[in-house]
Amino acid sequence: MKRLGGILIMLLLWLAFMPDSVARCQQMKGAMHAGDGMTAQIPFGRINLTDTYLQPAGSLLASTVVAPTAYTFGGAHAGTVLWECDEADLPALTFLVATNGDDRVGGFWDVGRSDGLQDVYATWFEQVGLRLSMAEVVLTRFWKAVPLTSYALVGGRVQIRLQDIPALRAELYRISSLPPASGAASNFCGRMMSASGTGAVYTCNQPNGYVQLKGPGLVSDEVGADSAWHYRFWGAHNGFGYGLRNAVSLSNNATCVARTATPQVVLPTISAAELAAGQVARGRFGVQLECSSAASSGTGSGQTAIGIQVSATAYAHAQRLGLLNPAGGVEALVSDNYGQVGYAEGVGIQLEDTSSGTTMTFVGQPGMTGNVPGANPSGRSAGWWPVMEGATVTGSSATGYQNHQRSYDAVLRMLPGQQPTPGKVEATAHVLVKVQ
């Protein structure tokens, strides 16, 4: 009896002096839900399938960046803590990402290969495929690791907040094939949806991708496992999904495409003092368009408009500087690295239509339009202008189509209420041509 008692005492002491071996992560109760209707929405707004002359298979239809704060279950916000771990756990912590591999239109079928695309998965919309990536890691059916690079340290504990999950990049492509009718692990949404003139809404609630955290004590999956059959995290709600549900519609209107645009606009050197005195620096650029003769130019529903969209980082700076209008349009484009050493402050680039001299608003982020549930910004205040307004017809390359040229001036000037400081100005913007 004494011998057994001695063994028991020694065992208890041994357990008491090995705390590091039982370090565990804690999933914050109620902070996450992996259910189909709780996904972070991927907001494309209206996308459009036109004829294959303007838009052959393999064409990029739209792209957007989804901030982690698009996930709002339970009132989640940027600072919401999703997981807590010991600091000693850091080397073992990583995010895992994959498509919703068990569903026919959620991420089971990689359908883009016949069109020269890779890792483009079938969606519920016919002829529309989706590619997702996070921190340059492209999502496939097989779980991949995304490094944890952002977190908070509080009292020796690692807190992983919603804002610490990297942004998700989403791209929609036109594809020529449909996914096989059978063979996937599930087909929850059944018959696929085709485009309509007024815009068919994506009501399938199946997620298109997932993120989870792998760490000591968490119910998670393994790197390389096929998400079609391996989704242990799901029942434990150790993560959440991203989906197109109710955030995109598909139309089939005649429209235009941007064929080329001036790739770089170089503005003449100007001093901070000259800008403060009201002087400006100008640079001209052009956009070459090709339009169907049946396209309707305008900003109303079903019409085609053009916009110049600021980069995601420039948009964030514009928010901070008070450069957004109530419609989400951006009044001035600032450097992507605004506020960093070596970059000018108190200055921004405005956009002017060369044909009329009208000052134009830039499109903000995500720049979605169209008839999906909720209010999507449209019109000139949001940065959308009739595609042919002020354009010059430059000829035709095919029967039933016309080429157009639009010219713009990029005008560097002092921002209202700011004091210019010397430095570089390097800003990025993209040309969007979109059915409204």
Is the CA virtual torsion 380, 384, 389, 391 positive or negative?
positive
Residue 378 CB-half CA count within 13 A: 22
pTM for the full predicted model: 0.88
Q: What's the CA gap between 436 and 433, in Å, rounded?
A: 9
- Length of the chain, please? 436
Q: In this predicted structure, what is the pLDDT of residue 366?
A: 86
- pLDDT for the residue 5: 40
Tens place of pLDDT per residue across the chain (436 aa): 333 343 332 333 233 333 444 568 999 999 999 999 999 999 999 999 999 999 999 999 999 999 999 999 999 999 999 999 999 999 999 999 999 999 999 999 999 999 999 999 999 999 999 999 999 999 999 999 999 999 999 998 999 999 999 999 999 999 999 999 999 999 999 999 999 988 999 999 999 999 999 999 999 999 999 999 999 999 999 999 999 999 999 999 999 999 999 999 999 999 999 999 999 999 999 999 999 999 999 999 899 999 999 999 999 999 999 999 999 999 999 999 999 999 999 999 999 999 999 999 999 998 888 766 556 788 999 999 999 999 999 999 899 999 999 999 999 999 999 999 999 999 999 999 999 9
pLDDT of residue 370: 76
pLDDT for 319 equals 96
With beta carbons less than 8 A apart as the criterion, state whether 55 and 257 touch: yes
What pLDDT score does 7 carry? 34
Residue pair 411/356 in contact by the 8 Å Cβ criterion: no
Report pLDDT for 374.
Answer: 56
**Which ranges in 192-271 belong to alpha helices (H)?**
232-236
**Is there a cis peptide before residue 366, judged by omega within 30 degrees of 0?**
yes
Beta bridge partners of 392: 405
Backbone angles phi, psi at 295, to 5 degrees: -70, 145
Report pLDDT for 377. 82
Residue 306 contacts by C-beta under 8 Å, 6 or more apart in sequence? 256, 258, 287, 289, 384, 385, 386, 387, 406, 431, 432, 433, 434
Question: Which of these, 386, 116, 160, 353, lies nearest to 256 by C-alpha position?
Answer: 386
What is the reported pLDDT for 105?
A: 98
Closest CA relative to residue 87, chosen from 189, 19, 33, 7 = 19
Residue 319's H or E segment, with its range, is: helix 312-321
**Which residues, 6+ apart, have CB-to-CB distance to 338 below 8 Å?**
314, 317, 345
**Are 174 and 56 contacting, i.e. CB atoms less than 8 angstroms apart?**
yes
Helix, strand or coil, per DSSP, at residue 430: strand
Which pLDDT score, from 0 to 100, does residue 397 have? 86
